[in-house]
Amino acid sequence: MISACSNPCCSATFTHRQGRLFRLPKRPMDDGRPSNTHSVQHFWLCADCCETYSLEYDKNLGVAITHSFQGFPSPELRQIIAKA
């Protein structure tokens, strides 16, 4: 269950219908087996953070928070928040 903003620098608690919810693929199992192909994980950015940041998934790196400029993620300014 989501309880707080996925931005590690933010402490906002989850508020229904505010901010942006992301549904991204679940990372593979630790023993190398792939996760269920229908498995997803949920991340949430609060209303303030989603104005500046976005989340992206990279199958080799994991989930990263990125600065967004006019709605487009900026790959050079990203921080991994969930490893692949």
Tokens 């087996």 correspond to: 33
Q: In whole angstroms, what is the distance from residue 49 CA to residue 79 CA?
A: 14
| pLDDT above 80 for 27 | no
pLDDT-derived band at 28, boundaries 50, 70, 90: low
Per-residue pLDDT, 81: 78
Report field, pTM of the whole predicted structure over 0.95: no
Coil, helix or strand at residue 50: helix
How far does CA 21 lie from the centroid of its chain?
Answer: 9
Per-residue pLDDT, 14: 94
* E strand or H helix that includes residue 73: strand 72-83
